[in-house]
Chains A and B, each alone.
Chain A
Amino acid sequence: EPEVTQTPSHQVTQMGQEVILRCVPISNHLYFYWYRQILGQKVEFLVSFYNNEISEKSEIFDDQFSVERPDGSNFTLKIRSTKLEDSAMYFCASQGRGRIQETQYFGPGTRLLVL
């Protein structure tokens, strides 16, 4: 069964460093998302991506964040200068056609720890 994959599973970084989180969505999906979950809290939307551009972003997704789909398979989230409060689990999700009834398939997540 197709699945969303994410690498790395864990990342530890120093405050101020750049990190890139990678995702490989399900191959025929068209809509891609990043969410984050601070430990013990709810899952929060960061950004959605469709047709090679950002379709929606939340207040959390400020200028420190960027996304791209460099090669038609990978979908990356870059945090330019990490802060302590960026420590969280980051989930990538993909969806086929964007219809309301379609579920989003989540990757296993990348646990980011900023020291």
Chain B
Amino acid sequence: AQKITQTQPGMFVQEKEAVTLDCTYDTSDQSYGLFWYKQPSSGEMIFLIYQGSYDEQNATEGRYSLNFQKARKSANLVISASQLGDSAMYFCAMREAYGQNFVFGPGTRLSVLP
């Protein structure tokens, strides 16, 4: 079974508008971490934002925020005021235990239109 699901293979957004990228996850652990990474066309993986399962507030980092709904097991990334440089693949990832590897979702390709 897929542990991380990203149902939007591709998304388009107009420059300066906000966009939400969906991520749902599956775990029976109570303690886990959720991460979002950006992968531009150059290929590197850039860390964006983290949400812990016990965090009571949604994480925010500049223009990035995470809409965390624990009961629904969703951790959607919200990018406000999109910029052309935001065009990239976006991956949601989860870690379930200390020291353990990440499990990645299939990614969403975001295209920002001028």
Contacts and interface: CB of A to CB of B under 8 A. Distances in A.
Interface of A: 31, 33, 35, 41-45, 48, 50, 55-56, 58, 89, 91, 93, 95, 98-101, 103-109, 111
A45 B93 CA distance: 11
In this complex, the interface size class of chain B, counting residues with CB under 8 Å from chain A, is: 20 to 34
A54 B97 CA distance: 16
Nearest to B107: A42
B45 A91 contact: yes
A97 to B, nearest CB: 8
Contacts of B99: 31, 48, 50, 55, 95, 98
Which of A43, A89, A99, A105 has the largest number of chain B CB atoms within 10 A? A43
Interface in B80-113: 91, 93, 95-107
Contact of B50 (A48, A55, A103): A103
B31 interface: yes
A42 B91 contact: yes
B12 to A, nearest CB: 18
Given A43-B104, A45-B103, A104-B102, 15 more contacts: A35-B102, A43-B93, A43-B102, A44-B104, A45-B102, A48-B100, A55-B99, A56-B100, A89-B43, A100-B98, A101-B52, A104-B47, A106-B46, A107-B44, A108-B42
